[in-house]
């Protein structure tokens, strides 16, 4: 027997399906898109300024690196669009492939194929282009843990409590790439990965005992790494310079001192793009990558650097909002993992430029020069948009159906 409610529901579903196709762009999180785009544009300007006068990097062509940076952004945007429009079922299917690909890349780094740059074996040279698999490992760990925890909790009938075995399996998923990253050694990525795993498990519902054990375990790993010589001498010197940069002003403390001078030169309004005295003289090392924030501080001043931080916070806010509103566990955990990843990495990068965090060599997401980092970061943004679009579609259909059904019951 066909009831009025059934007819109304069927008609509403048809209308919503048609509307869904027609208004998919309207459901896009344009605030996230704007914040991401603004960071990309701002980063391009900062990279251009930091490299235009450095002939050793550009080979005499002042636009050489910024052109490569823009190409990397273009490729990253294509990857982000592909992730954003992919059906969420395929996103889950491809998750193990992303994770295994990242692990294979980390293994290759430690093989003869790997290349040593700045004292760390973290790169693979492919046709004259350097790739850093550790950046993809961040994304791989986020989606890998999110998928495993989602599948464990979604199949249970009685609640979604996180069990001990779930936490252990999640930690194993994170431990495999973490061990390979520590062997490089890449301390900066290791810190970001640790913070991401901790935050993801906290959101997933791990007990306080587990979270406290993770903190103790992380401290133990650091102590063991120092005691058994897993860290390089320059990495240990950086921690000493963090406590007192004046101990080695021409060595380990040099980066921190020059970064502080550059940011201090900017004042409120800055010295103007392409006019920073420290930047254009090349006093700050790795200024287009790890220390790109110092360009904003010196040339754009407090106003420009504050705008960059504000845009980053807007991006994190929209990412957190997407995670909170996700209509499935995978989306909620994956979104939360991206928030922890971007949030801690941005804090670490800006903090080491200001001297409140040790120098560990991590890029500023969506701003620093670097192809692999840009690809991984934009894919993560595409994942956030994918979760948002799926959630908005689900909420939109539900809202229309509930309204139609409620009205039909009045008659």
CB contact at 8 A, 349 and 48: no
Which pLDDT tens digit goes with each residue over 27-82?
Answer: 889 999 999 999 999 999 999 999 998 888 888 888 999 999 999 999 999 999 99
| pLDDT value at residue 219 | 83
CB contact at 8 A, 186 and 330: no
DSSP-assigned states of every residue in 33-88? HHHHHHHHHHHHHHHHHHHTT-HHHHTT-TTHHHHHHHHHHHHHHHHHHHHHHS-H
Q: Which of 300, 310, 335 is nearest to 88 (CA)?
A: 335
Sorting pLDDT into bands at 50, 70 and 90, what band is 22? very low
Higher pLDDT, 291 or 153: 291
By percentage, how much of the chain surpasses pLDDT 70?
80
Q: What is the model's pTM?
A: 0.86
| pLDDT value at residue 376 | 96
pLDDT at 404 exceeding the cut of 50: no
Q: Dihedral sign, CA of 73, 78, 84, 90? A: negative
Average pLDDT, the chain: 84
**Phi (first) and psi of residue 116, to 5 degrees:** -95, 120
**Order of strands, edge to edge, in the sheet holding 114-117?**
114-117, 120-126, 129-131
- Report d(CA 258, CA 281) in Å as an integer: 11
| pLDDT value at residue 290 | 92
| pLDDT value at residue 223 | 77
By percentage, how much of the chain surpasses pLDDT 90?
53
Higher pLDDT, 367 or 110: 367
- Report d(CA 365, CA 126) in Å as an integer: 23
DSSP 360: -
Which pLDDT tens digit goes with each residue over 227-254?
Answer: 766 666 666 666 666 666 666 677 768 8
């Amino acid at each position: 027997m066909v009831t009025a409610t059934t007819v109304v529901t069927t008609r509403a579903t048809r209308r919503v399906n048609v509307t869904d196709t027609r208004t998919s762009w309207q459901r896009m999180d344009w605030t996230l898109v704007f914040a991401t785009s603004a960071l990309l544009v701002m980063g391009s300007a900062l990279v251009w300024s930091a490299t235009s006068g450095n002939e050793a990097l550009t080979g005499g062509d002042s636009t050489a690196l910024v052109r490569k940076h823009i190409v990397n952004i273009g490729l990253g945007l294509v990857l982000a669009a592909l992730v954003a429009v992919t059906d969420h079922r395929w996103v889950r299917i491809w998750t193990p492939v992303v994770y295994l690909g990242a692990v294979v890349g980390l293994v290759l780094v430690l093989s003869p194929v790997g290349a040593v740059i700045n004292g760390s074996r973290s790169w693979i040279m492919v046709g004259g282009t350097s790739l850093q698999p550790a950046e993809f490992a961040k994304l791989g760990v986020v989606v890998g843990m999110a998928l495993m925890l989602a599948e464990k909790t979604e199949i249970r009938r009685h609640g979604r409590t996180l069990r001990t075995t779930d936490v252990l399996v999640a930690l194993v998923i994170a431990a495999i790439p973490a061990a390979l990253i520590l062997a490089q050694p890449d301390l900066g990525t290791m810190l970001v990965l640790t913070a991401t795993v901790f935050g993801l498990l906290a959101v997933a519902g791990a007990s306080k005992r587990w979270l406290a054990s993770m903190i103790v375990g992380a401290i133990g790993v650091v102590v063991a790494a120092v005691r058994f010589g897993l860290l390089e001498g320059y990495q240990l010197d950086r921690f000493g310079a963090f406590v007192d940069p004046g101990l080695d002003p021409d060595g380990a403390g040099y980066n921190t001192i020059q970064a502080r001078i550059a940011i201090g030169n900017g004042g409120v309004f800055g010295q103007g793009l392409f006019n920073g005295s420290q930047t254009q003289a090349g006093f700050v090392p790795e200024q287009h990558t790890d220390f790109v924030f110092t360009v904003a501080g010196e040339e754009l001043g407090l106003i420009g650097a504050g705008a960059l931080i504000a845009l980053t916070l807007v991006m994190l806010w929209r990412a957190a909002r997407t995670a909170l509103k996700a209509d499935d566990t995978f989306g909620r955990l994956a979104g939360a993992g991206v928030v922890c990843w971007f949030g801690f990495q941005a804090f670490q990068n800006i903090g080491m430029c200001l001297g409140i965090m040790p120098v560990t060599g991590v890029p500023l997401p969506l701003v620093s020069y670097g192809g692999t980092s840009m690809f991984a970061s934009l894919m993560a943004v595409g994942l956030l948009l994918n979760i948002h679009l799926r959630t908005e579609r689900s909420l939109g259909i539900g809202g229309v159906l509930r309204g139609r059904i409620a009205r039909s019951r009045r008659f």
